[in-house]
Structure 1
Amino acid sequence: MYADITIKARCENHAEAESILSGLNAAYQGEDVQTDTYYETDYGKLKHRQGNIENVLIHYNRTPLEGAKRTEVLLYLKNPGAATVAAVCEGKSIIARLKKIRKIYFIDNVKFHLDQIKGLGDFIEIEAIDLEGSVGIEVLQQQCDYYKDLLQIHNEDLVTSAYTDLIHHS
């Protein structure tokens, strides 16, 4: 059972966050130029991400927690072919398209994103991931809280809205 806890925040200083991650020996995966296309769906979000590092088709639902979100993943396909994307998304309206530059880091099961989004600004995400269901939500939350403190993320900088919601309200 795939589960994750995600914290998203505005980040005024990506260089400082990168310095902290480097000091923690985070594994840098690279810089990804991504286009996320969101399709209408009756439940959660259906997203096709196209990037030079990450290419996924994902159907998920997020539930708010205190300063974080819990993700329930219904479909997760890495590197889907055009026929698969068409089979899942054909006939569905595109509700949003988002372009971003994302730097990706990992420490064990925790993924860090440093995002630059035109018109919205700079953000950081901490995503504690449990692919097999062996870590548990409580530990994932503890990991997010731990790295939130280390990265000096303040509660007033937390963002609980999706990027697509921020675009529609900016």
Structure 2
Amino acid sequence: MIEVEVKAKLSNKTERKVKNKFNFKKEIKQTDYYFNHPNRDFKKTDEALRIRKTNTDTYLTYKGSKLDEKSKSREEYEIKVSDFEETKKILTKLSFRKPKEVKKTRQVYEKDSTKIYIDNVKGLGKFIEVEKIANETEYKNKLHKCIKLIKDLGIDENNLEKRSYLELLEN
């Protein structure tokens, strides 16, 4: 599975457009704990391994290297896990390095097969993410649709943010 995702800093004007054009689904609190591999630096390989805690659930996610220069699109594998602390212990026992934390409140909007996230990230402010799920043959087409949508919301394609929230917080 490929997560096709474009992201940008959010203006008040764009936020109003999203709220007027898309269906609000829910608001969730998320804390992401990013781990680094003991033998290779995920920062250099552009990969990510995280545990995400939400209001009600916990997920373990691996993200591969980004696929293009404009977006954050990448291969992604995610499983729901029953116990955050036990999952964290397993990764620590396997020598994964101490996790770094990203906290955010996420508003989820949806229309057709597109998800729009308005993220308020602690220490960074508000961002918008436009996301579609694709397989390898659909990837380019869905990326084009995500970029078109973000342009329609008033965001210049040159202002897309390819860095993760963790990368932004570290800089």
Question: What does residue range 36-115 of structure 1 map to in structure 2 within 5 Å?
Answer: 36-41=32-37, 42=40, 44-52=47-55, 55-73=58-76, 75-78=77-80, 80-82=81-83, 85-86=87-88, 89-91=91-93, 92-115=96-119
The alpha-carbon deviation at position 18 of structure 1 amounts to: 4.2
Once superposed, which parts of structure 1, at least 4 consecutive aligned residues long, lie more than 6 Å away?
none
For residue 163 of structure 2, what is the amino acid of its counterpart?
S
Equivalent position SS for 2:117: strand
CA–CA distance in 1 between the matches of 2:163 and 2:51? 19
Question: What is the Cα deviation at residue 156 of structure 1?
Answer: 4.3
Count of equivalent residues: 161
**Counterpart contact for 1:64–1:160, Cα < 8 Å:** no
Aligned to 2:14: 17
Contact 2:108 2:118 in 1 (8 A): yes
Q: Which among 29, 34, 40 is matched to residue 33 of structure 1?
A: 29
TM-score (normalised: structure 2)? 0.81
Give 1:148's aligned residue. Answer: 150
Partner AA of 2:72 in structure 1? K
**1:95 deviation in Å?**
3.6
Q: Which one-letter code corresponds to 1:40 in the other structure?
A: N
> What is the CA distance between 1:86 and its match in structure 2?
4.4
Assess if the C-alpha contact under 8 Å between 2:4 and 2:143 holds in 1: yes
Contact 2:58 2:82 survives alignment (8 Å): no
Name the aligned partner's letter for residue 7 of structure 2.
K
Secondary structure in structure 1 of the residue aligned to 2:72: strand
What is the deviation of 1:21? 2.9
Structure 1 position 124 matched with structure 2 position 128: yes
Q: Does the aligned pair in 2 maintain the 1:46–1:58 contact within 8 Å?
A: yes
* 8 Å CA contact retained: 2:92, 2:98: no
Q: Partners in 2 of 1:138 and 1:61 — Cα distance?
A: 17
RMSD between aligned residues = 2.3
For the 8 Å contact 2:147–2:157, the answer to whether it is kept is no
